[in-house]
Amino acid sequence: MISDLARPFDEIVRNMDQELQTLASEGKRLIGYFCTYTPVELIHASGFIPVRILGDAGTVEKAYTLTPDFICPYLRKAVEKGLNGSYKCLDGLVQGYTCDAACGVANIWEANMGADPFHILPLPYVDQDESRSFLRSGLEDLAEILKRAGGDFSQERLADSLDIYGRIRTLMSELYEIRYEHRLPLSAEDFLTIVQAGFITAPERYLSMLHDLIDALPETCDPGEGVPILVSGSLIEETKVLRIIEESGGRVVADDLCTGMRNFVPAYGHGSDPMDQLIDRFMNRFPCPSRSSAEYRLPRLLDLMKHSKACAMVFVFQKYCTPHLSDYPFLNDALKDKGIPSIMVELDETGIMEGQLKTRLESFFEMIGW
Ligand code: SF4
């Protein structure tokens, strides 16, 4: 059940097709992307609205013929939604190279849904001077591609876009800080809905909605019940899994999701010019397993648990998500060694077995006995 505070965001998410059509009818040109490692600021600075392509809760029928079995449900559902015409308002597609599945699907998208401009941006894995130069030249190439497609990129425009996205991330970080203090009157379902709305509307509008939301927050809030947990994993689209977690005795006080905190930290990068700042933020992002090792992620996750006073971890993975599933054995062992309880939930494209999942989670939270 979505709260009144999150309702304006829910309206956008539930009416996504209409939202995109309205933007297009206002003369905005829309560029789709899958992963948050795509430089949305550069796309925005070139005069386009970046739109994160989301999947759907519905059944998959057409996408089976185009995608292999071992692909995450999110991407298959995104293809299904594309084939059903939900993204016909998109002009092009730009994807920052993260997991192989997403980049493979980008090519399937171009061939079947069409995308002009279309580009996959190569990304470095390590932070060295050479990597930063490599990324700079990739970003300059992308700016050229967008220019040829009618875009209008300049350093000044990039500075403005960095500012607007930075302000959005700062407000989201404020919400996270309140959440870490266990005094945010929003369920995990509300929170995900708020994040998702930001993927499919213009950043100017989203920024103003976040201001309204923060202004409407009550001064005090009952910390509520439930075991405080950190949810870590790949992207979550369906809010249902979060609702089940909270109905079963957990309370999400922190997340490590690309439909969550990983998209917002840090708010800004540093550097002598706007492009340097964009690159610096990219290099200092809260790490995703598709771009970093489990050893690198572990201390950051432990810090996050400490900061948010979470006492257990719930991993939520898309089935077949290689980057997250590869990190899991190491992270799970490390948490066990530290006496931190954890449980793993896998998201299948056929949907969640609600009863079974509730029973597992209830036993898990009872065992913690918080
Ligand atoms: S959920 Fe995993 S497989 Fe799917 S797009 Fe993200 S990183 Fe790739």
Q: With a cut of 80, say whether residue 144 has pLDDT above it.
A: yes
Q: What percent of the chain stands above pLDDT 90?
A: 91
Which DSSP state fits 257? -
Q: With a cut of 90, say whether residue 12 has pLDDT above it.
A: yes
User: Exposed e or buried b for every residue in 289-321, given b needs 16+ CB within 10 A?
Assistant: bbbbebeebbeebbebbeebebebbbbbbbbbb
* pLDDT at residue 349, as a whole number: 81
Helix axes 7-14, 188-199, angle to 10 degrees: 50
Asked if 239 and 189 count as a contact pair (C-beta separation under 8 A), the reply is yes
Tell me which residue has its CA closest to atom 3 in ligand 1: 321
pLDDT digits (tens, 9 = 90+) for 308-365: 999 999 999 999 999 999 999 999 999 999 999 999 999 988 778 889 999 999 999 9
What is the average pLDDT score of the chain?
Answer: 95
pLDDT digits (tens, 9 = 90+) for 267-289: 999 999 999 999 999 999 999 99
Alpha carbon distance 46, 161 (integer Å): 9
Q: With a cut of 80, say whether residue 258 has pLDDT above it.
A: yes
Bond preceding residue 274 cis, omega within 30 of 0: no
pLDDT digits (tens, 9 = 90+) for 108-117: 999 999 999 9
pLDDT digits (tens, 9 = 90+) for 72-113: 999 999 999 999 999 999 999 999 999 999 999 999 999 999
Asked if 196 and 259 count as a contact pair (C-beta separation under 8 A), the reply is yes
Nearest to 178 by CA among 207, 203, 213: 213
Ligand 1 lined by 365 (C-beta under 6 Å)? no
Residue type at position 300: R
Nearest atom in ligand 1 to the alpha carbon of residue 234 is 1
Alpha carbon distance 230, 174 (integer Å): 17
Tell me which residue has its CA closest to atom 5 in ligand 1: 102
Q: With a cut of 90, say whether residue 220 has pLDDT above it.
A: no
State which of 234, 297, 328 you would mutate to test the pocket of ligand 1, scoring each by most atoms of that ligand within 8 A of its C-beta. Answer: 234
* pLDDT at residue 310, as a whole number: 97
Helices (H) and strands (E) in the chain, counts: 14, 8
Q: With a cut of 80, say whether residue 123 has pLDDT above it.
A: yes
* pLDDT at residue 266, as a whole number: 97
144-151 — which CB contacts under 8 Å span 24+ positions?
145/117, 145/119, 146/31, 146/42, 146/43, 146/46, 146/47, 146/48, 146/117, 147/46, 148/117, 149/91, 149/92, 149/116, 149/117, 150/29, 150/47, 151/46, 151/47, 151/48
Residue type at position 20: L
Which DSSP state fits 135? H
* pLDDT at residue 140, as a whole number: 98
In the reported structure, the alpha carbon of residue 325 is separated from the centroid of ligand 1 by a whole-number distance in angstroms of 10
Tell me which residue has its CA closest to atom 8 in ligand 1: 99
Q: What percent of the chain stands above pLDDT 70?
A: 99
Which DSSP state fits 201? S
Over residues 133-161, the mean pLDDT reads 97
Q: With a cut of 90, say whether residue 222 has pLDDT above it.
A: no
- pTM value is 0.95
Going edge to edge, which strands form the sheet with 342-347?
Answer: 250-256, 227-233, 312-318, 342-347
In the reported structure, the alpha carbon of residue 321 is separated from the centroid of ligand 1 by a whole-number distance in angstroms of 5
pLDDT band at 66 (very low <50, low <70, confident <90, very high): very high
